[in-house]
Amino acid sequence: MRLIVNGESIEARAARLDALLDELHYLGGHYAIAVNDDVVPRARWAQTALSEGDTIEILTPRQGG
């Protein structure tokens, strides 16, 4: 299915958010993720279904100032 991930259009096989992270090789769990502008808590990643055209933002924390 076609998704927009961090502003880029991609073709993905994943049907759930956790599977998309695996497919895109995001390791660990230190991310803030929003699907269609709604923040998804880590506890709900495995239950969050994705649909054609969804917009996903994956943010990683960074230190600095």
- Sequence-separated (6 or more) residues with CB below 8 Å from residue 34: 40, 56, 57
pTM of the prediction?
0.89
25 belongs to a structural domain: yes
Closest CA to 4 of 49, 57, 59, 47: 57
CATH at residue 48:
3.10.20.30
64 belongs to a structural domain: no
- Residues 10-65 have pLDDT tens digits of 999 999 999 999 999 998 778 999 999 999 999 999 999 999 999 999 998 877 76
30 belongs to a structural domain: yes
65 belongs to a structural domain: no
